[in-house]
Structure 1
Amino acid sequence: MRETAVAPEQRHSESTFRKLVRSLIIGLVLGTIAGIPIGWFTHRVFAQQRAAQVLLCRQQHYGQAEATLQDLCGTVY
């Protein structure tokens, strides 16, 4: 089998492209690994905060009808 001659600038371009693609893939993998726990934790904190706000509002308006409470305070979910 005979190798064909490739221009040096084309070889450099292919090498640079491969490095960019590899870097992109590594970045996506690391971002996913780091992002999932951060997103889960953030969602949990905000969900707990919202639940606390709704419960506090319901306590402040104790004795009112359920429809009125939902209009004033909203729902936890």
Structure 2
Amino acid sequence: MQIIADFRVEQKAELYEKINTAVASAFSDGLVERTHGVLVTRHDFDHFSVALSPHVPFGLIHEQDQVHRN
């Protein structure tokens, strides 16, 4: 897996801007090999990452939520 961006946010508007930028970058990087899709992961309520993943089919975006709610 190749991490494209790992970031924290304070506001929703900032979240969408950062995710959109990172996903566009991931698609651009992924076009070279055409074997990885994009995985967007929420690690915590304010912590996110975007990565190229061999477990996601090329051309697709999968979301993963790792936040544990009580």
Shared fold (TM-score greater than 0.5)? no
Query: When the two structures are superposed, what TM-score results if normalisation uses the length of structure 1?
Result: 0.33
Higher relative contact order (CA 8 A, sep 6+): 2
**Structure 1 or 2: larger helix share?**
1
Query: When the two structures are superposed, what TM-score results if normalisation uses the length of structure 2?
Result: 0.35
**Which one has a bigger Cα radius of gyration?**
1
